[in-house]
Amino acid sequence: MSLPSVTALVTVHQVERYVGEALDSALAQDYPEHLLDVVVVDDGSTDGSAGEVARRVGSGRVRVVRQANAGYVAATNRAVAEATGTLLAVLDADDVWPTDKVRRQVEALGERSLLYGDMTVIDRDGRVLQESWLEDQAPPVGDDVCGLLRGNVATSSSLLLRADAARRWGPVPVEVSFADWWFALRAALEGGLGYLAEPRTGYRFHGENMSLGTQGPERAGQLRASMALQRWFLRRLPERCAVEDVLGAWQSFADFGVELMRAAESPFVPLVPVSDADRAAAVAGAEQARALLADGRERAAAAAAVAAAAADPWCAPARTVIGLLG
């Protein structure tokens, strides 16, 4: 059986210190060179990142696209659009891949839409801070969208996904900020989410990352983006999900709201924007949920009630049904 072509997607913004090592790790993969190329989207870098990238272009396997700074998600969308591979492997510009990452994930992908893996946390200089991020957890797989909604464990640099799926699921809405979580959740909605514990991607913790170590206003912004993403999926949960899983996903959304108020140091911080259409959808959804519950269809009632509450978190009838289910 012939091997598929793979495009590594690398978005770059002010990562002069790390991007060279990231690209070198992509070019050093033990996967056939003619089947692995790299698309770099330079998202308006003003440091020496462009020079580091340029030094790798001579390999003939690195193609660079430059754009004005538009943010990580917009740059990822551009990278997906520019990619030519049948499969896409995301690599954050400050992370590193072990040499067998692509090959082993391609071998394990099977019929799935997306595969993700564990990570080893490293510091600025590549020293190991934590050998495994997920070894004590049960990473969501298959159609476990509710489990994945409780927190993002499918980190960018561990992802391998089908290009046609990425384009079907995209473009990623820029307000959600987390392209990796979006892709993994879309895969779970379709029942095509896979996990491979090894090899582990090198996730670099250097104090400027999007996900780890943020506090104060920066953490508040991250939580607001997380809630925007969770809200989108909570409004679209399939009826197949168990009641306790649906309620657990809703509780995670509510917990993020509490943490957001703490991070913003105000109980009056806006959590999610709610329009008149959202309020109307919440009322109608709550009525539907109550009718489904009366009919004994608890799973459908849970999905409808949580969708209503996600549309308008202040909708009392929706929260009442959630309380009855809990």
User: Would you list the domain boundaries of the chain?
Assistant: 6-204, 216-325
Give me the DSSP letters along 181-236. HHHHHHHHHTT-EEEEEEEEEEEE--S--SSSS--HHHHHHHHHHHHHHHHHHHTT
- Reported as a single tens digit per residue, the pLDDT across 100-159 is 999 999 999 999 999 999 999 999 999 999 999 999 999 999 999 999 999 999 999 999
Q: What angle do CA 272, 169, 79 make, to 5 degrees?
A: 100
Q: Which of 21-35, 168-182, 201-215, 261-275 has the highest mean pLDDT?
A: 21-35
- Reported as a single tens digit per residue, the pLDDT across 287-316 is 999 999 999 999 999 999 999 999 999 999
pLDDT of residue 270: 79
- Confidence class for position 28, pLDDT limits 50, 70, 90: very high
Q: Cα(188)–Cα(178) distance, rounded to whole angstroms?
A: 16
Confidence check: pLDDT of 213 > 60: no
Instruction: Classify domain 6-204 at the CATH topology level.
Output: Spore Coat Polysaccharide Biosynthesis Protein SpsA; Chain A (3.90.550)
pLDDT of residue 271: 82
Which residue do the tokens 């072990």 mark? 98
Contact in structure between 262 and 218 (CB atoms under 8 Å): no
Which residue do the tokens 């939580």 mark? 223
Rg (CA), the chain: 21
Contact in structure between 151 and 129 (CB atoms under 8 Å): no
- Reported as a single tens digit per residue, the pLDDT across 58-82 is 889 999 999 999 999 999 999 999 9
Which residue do the tokens 């582990």 mark? 200
pLDDT of residue 72: 95
Question: Residue 301: which of 310, 288, 312 has the closest Cα?
Answer: 288
Q: Cα(178)–Cα(187) distance, rounded to whole angstroms?
A: 14
pLDDT of residue 190: 96
Beta-sheet strands, E only, within the chain = 6-12, 36-43, 62-67, 87-90, 114-122, 128-130, 160-162, 193-204
pLDDT exceeding 70 applies to what percent of the chain? 97
Local structure of residue 22 (DSSP, 8 states): H
- Reported as a single tens digit per residue, the pLDDT across 83-108 is 999 999 999 999 999 999 999 999 99
- Confidence class for position 221, pLDDT limits 50, 70, 90: confident
Average pLDDT over every residue of 234-261: 95
pLDDT of residue 218: 80
- Confidence class for position 208, pLDDT limits 50, 70, 90: low
The number of angstroms, rounded, from the C-alpha of 26 to the middle of its chain's C-alpha atoms is 20
List of residues 6+ apart from 245 with CB closer than 8 A: 144, 146, 147
Local structure of residue 130 (DSSP, 8 states): E
Contact in structure between 103 and 109 (CB atoms under 8 Å): no
pLDDT of residue 265: 79
pLDDT exceeding 90 applies to what percent of the chain? 87
Confidence check: pLDDT of 207 > 70: no
Q: Cα(309)–Cα(247) distance, rounded to whole angstroms?
A: 11
Whole-model pTM: value is 0.93
pLDDT of residue 212: 54
Question: Which of the pair, 179 or 1, is modelled with greater confidence?
Answer: 179
The half-sphere exposure of 271 on its side-chain side, counting CA atoms within 13 A, is: 20
pLDDT of residue 209: 55
Mean pLDDT over the full length of the chain: 94
Question: Residue 156: which of 209, 107, 192 has the closest Cα?
Answer: 209
